[in-house]
């Protein structure tokens, strides 16, 4: 009981739910009272003593469901009805379990990847001979017997026991997934199974060779299930180093490839990066040009000394906060990049309080007020919902921008354009971009596509590049941080 609870609390702490030693003792007392029989009653009871804030309660609920779920080796939750049915429907002679039906398909789908790429855990094997259907000898190894019985519940229990033997909870980084998969397979009896497969392969009897082929398919299928199990356990038990590694990977991955379930973690990374930039650039600095004497100021401050020069004053330049206009293409896959760029810019309000944002797919509209009235996440969601429809038209967007606020652009304005410059072969209106280039201090174009595609198909990036001060490939948080950091450093 204590080991299960401490493992669960470790998973909560890794999910950033703060649990003190006193709260751990309270949870232990609660479990002694309610037990593990009623899952929902246990969940509600622990919810009274472990999570404290609403965010922690949401995280607690998700972690509890993951930790105390009983998933069979097909990834489906096993209910009491399933367990009772296992003995008759699946565990019986129904060959659609892991046998010739589902099992063979699962083995081929899971281990089928190993058809082109040899699995490093398996021996190099020649192409299987076609033995057809027919009689097979019974398996002798313990794991072989378990695989041939189609008892998925028993396999799940065996897998969980093997995970405890190899201390799967100690997994730290995602790259250890293969190592722990191998250890669990060995703890389940892989060595004996391998020997049985090899002996059956070399046997002159056809029924034994059929058994060897079937065991090999089921072994490869089981390995995929173990890998999935290790991956789920990693998400529960990975320590802070593992989380930092995931965050580092998310900083480098293309934003269009970020899955929705990782948005919250990416948002945390964005806010942390923004906070770092705020700390670096929050003060309005003065850069003194020593050696360039400010003569009018020096004379004015030394008038009280009858013309004698006692106090020298040097020329200085104020590094002011930038005035930023953000123009975002929110159509199609580009919307993912717009989401995080807007989140980044509005997280820097301490050093960039004058951000005005515009969104378009065809017609352009200002969405600055949305961010003033709503939380950042809600404003971004409404922007993507209201303006992502329609066929992309950069020419129309630039025309709308000229009508809305071209007069507000001056030599202190930095314009950031985020888009792939794919204009569906319409008029690119480079004349408006040239006017924007002439009036503003800086025009920066961030293109999420790789440079090699900037001139392919309907892309107009070659024409637009002539009228921007800086054109950058920007498809990850790391790129975005570098561009915005350089912007804040270079503003003068």
| pLDDT grade for 483, boundaries at 50, 70 and 90 | confident
Asked whether 34 and 77 are in contact (CB, 8 A), the reply is: no
pLDDT in tens, 9-25: 777 777 667 788 888 88
Q: Above 70 in pLDDT, residue 271?
A: yes
Q: Rounded mean pLDDT of 484-492?
A: 66
Q: Which residues touch 442 (CB under 8 Å, ≥6 apart)?
A: 414, 415, 469, 470, 487
Residue 468 has pLDDT above 80, yes or no: yes
What's the pLDDT at 281? 53
Mean pLDDT in residue range 198-216: 84
The pLDDT of residue 464 is 94
What's the rounded mean pLDDT across residues 204-233?
A: 83
- pLDDT in the model for residue 69: 66
Query: What is the 3 state secondary structure string of the chain?
Result: CHHHHHHHHHHHHHCCCCCCHHHHHHHHHHHHHHCCCCHHHHHHHHHCCCCCCHHHHHHHHHHHHHHCCCECCCCCECCHHHHHHHHHHHCCCCCCCCCCCHHHHHHHHHCCHHHHCCCCCCCCCCCCCCCCCCCCCCCCCHHHHHHHCCCHHHHHHHHHHHHHHCCHHHCCCHHHHHHHHHHHHHHHCHHHHHHHHHHHHHCCCHHHHHHHHHHHHHHHHHHHHHHHHHHHHHHHHCCHHHHHHHHHHHHHCCHHHCCHHHHHHHHHHHHHHHHHHHHHHCCCCEEEEEEEECHHHHHHHCHHHCCCCCCCCEEEEECCCCEEEEEEECCCCHHHHHHHHHHHHHCCCCCCCCCEEEEECCCEEECHHHHHHCCHHHHHHHHHHHHCCCCCCHHHHHHHHHHHHHHHCCCCEEEEEECCCECCCCCCCHHHHHHHHHHCCEEEEEECCCHHHCCCCCECHHHHHCCCCEEEECCCHHHHHHHHHHHHHHCC
Which of the residue ranges 113-117, 164-168, 259-263, 292-296 would you say has the lowest mean pLDDT?
A: 113-117
Model confidence, pTM: 0.47
Q: How many residues does the chain have?
A: 492
Give residue 299's pLDDT.
Answer: 82
The more confident residue out of 396 and 51 is 396
- Residue written as token pair 């569906």: 424
Is 315 in contact with 289 (CB distance < 8 Å)?
A: yes
pLDDT tops 50 at residue 75: no
Q: What is the pLDDT of residue 439?
A: 92
> Does the pLDDT at position 261 exceed 90?
no
Query: Which residues have C-beta within 8 Å of that of residue 257, sequence separation ≥ 6?
Result: none
d(Cα 427, Cα 92) in Å, to the nearest integer? 69
pLDDT above 90 (res 467): yes
Mean predicted lDDT score pLDDT of the chain? 75
For residue 477, CA distances in Å to 12, 253, 334, 440, 467 come to: 27, 8, 14, 26, 25
93-97, 226-230, 271-275, 286-290: which range is least confident on average?
Answer: 93-97
Residue 107's pLDDT is what? Answer: 38
Domain regions of the chain by residue span: 2-67, 80-112+135-238, 286-318, 323-490
pLDDT of 102 over the 70 cut? no
Q: Under CATH, which number does the domain 323-490 receive?
A: 3.40.50.410
Grade residue 260 by pLDDT with cuts at 50, 70 and 90.
low
Q: Are 165 and 188 in contact (CB under 8 A)?
A: no
Q: Beta-carbon neighbour count of residue 490 at 10 Å?
A: 12
Point out the least confidently predicted range of 102-111, 199-208, 402-411.
Answer: 102-111
pLDDT at site 120: 43
Q: Could you read off the pLDDT of 320-359 as tens digits, one per residue?
A: 556 788 899 988 768 878 888 788 777 776 566 678 889 9
pLDDT tier at 486 (50, 70, 90 boundaries)? confident
pLDDT of residue 435: 94
Query: How high is the pLDDT of residue 279?
Result: 65
Assess contact for 213 and 128: CB atoms under 8 A: yes
Cα distances (angstroms) measured from residue 242 to each of 169, 174, 237, 248, 249: 12, 7, 9, 10, 11
Would you place residue 430 in the very low, low, confident or very high pLDDT band (cuts 50, 70, 90)?
Answer: very high
Mean pLDDT over 287-308 rounds to 75
Answer yes or no: are the C-beta atoms of 484 and 312 closer than 8 Å.
no
Residue-level pLDDT at 437 = 94
* CB environment 57-84: b (16+ within 10 A), e (fewer): eebbeebbeebeeebbbeeeebeeebee
């Amino acid at each position: 009981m204590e080991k299960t609870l401490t493992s669960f609390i470790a998973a909560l702490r890794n999910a950033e739910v703060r649990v003190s030693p006193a709260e751990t003792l309270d949870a232990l007392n609660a479990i002694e009272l309610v037990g593990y029989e009623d899952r929902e009653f246990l969940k509600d009871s622990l919810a009274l003593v472990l999570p404290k804030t609403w965010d922690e309660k949401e995280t607690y609920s998700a972690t509890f469901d993951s930790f105390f779920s009983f998933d069979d080796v097909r990834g489906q939750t096993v209910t009491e009805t399933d367990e009772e049915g296992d003995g008759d429907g699946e565990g019986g002679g129904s060959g659609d379990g892991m046998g010739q039906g589902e099992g063979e398909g699962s083995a081929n789908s899971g281990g089928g990847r190993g058809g082109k790429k040899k699995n490093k855990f398996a021996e190099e094997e020649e192409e299987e001979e076609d033995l057809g259907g027919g009689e097979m000898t019974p398996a002798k190894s313990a794991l072989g017997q378990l695989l041939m019985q189609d008892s998925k519940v028993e396999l799940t229990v065996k897998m969980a026991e093997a995970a405890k033997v190899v201390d799967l909870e100690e997994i730290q980084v995602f790259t250890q997934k293969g190592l722990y998969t191998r250890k669990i397979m060995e703890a389940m009896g892989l060595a004996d199974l391998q020997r049985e497969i090899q002996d059956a392969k070399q046997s002159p009897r056809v029924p034994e060779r059929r058994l060897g082929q079937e065991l090999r398919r089921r072994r490869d299928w089981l390995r995929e299930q173990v890998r999935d199990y290790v991956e789920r356990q990693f998400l529960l038990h990975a320590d802070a180093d593992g989380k930092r590694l995931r965050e580092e990977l998310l900083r480098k991955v293309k934003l269009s490839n970020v899955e929705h379930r990782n948005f919250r973690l990416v948002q945390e990374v964005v806010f942390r990066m923004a906070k770092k930039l705020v700390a670096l650039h929050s003060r309005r600095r003065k850069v003194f040009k020593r050696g360039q004497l400010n003569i009018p100021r020096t004379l004015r401050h030394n008038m009280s000394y009858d013309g004698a020069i006692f106090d020298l004053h040097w020329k200085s330049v104020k590094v002011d906060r930038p005035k930023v206009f953000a123009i975002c293409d929110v159509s199609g896959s580009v919307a993912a990049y717009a989401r995080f760029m807007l989140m980044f810019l509005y997280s820097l309000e301490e050093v960039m309080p004058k951000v005005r944002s515009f969104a378009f797919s065809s017609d352009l509209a200002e969405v600055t007020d949305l961010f003033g009235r709503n939380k950042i996440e809600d404003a971004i969601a409404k922007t993507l919902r209201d303006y992502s429809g329609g066929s992309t038209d950069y020419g129309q967007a630039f025309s709308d921008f000229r009508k809305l606020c071209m007069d507000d652009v001056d030599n202190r304005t930095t314009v950031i354009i985020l888009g792939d410059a794919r204009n569906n072969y319409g008029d690119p209106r480079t004349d408006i971009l040239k006017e924007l280039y002439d009036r503003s201090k800086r025009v920066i174009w961030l293109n999420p596509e790789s440079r090699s595609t900037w001139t392919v198909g309907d892309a107009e990036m070659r024409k637009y590049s002539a009228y921007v001060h800086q054109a950058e490939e920007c498809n990850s948080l790391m790129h975005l941080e570098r561009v915005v950091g350089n912007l804040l450093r270079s503003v003068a």
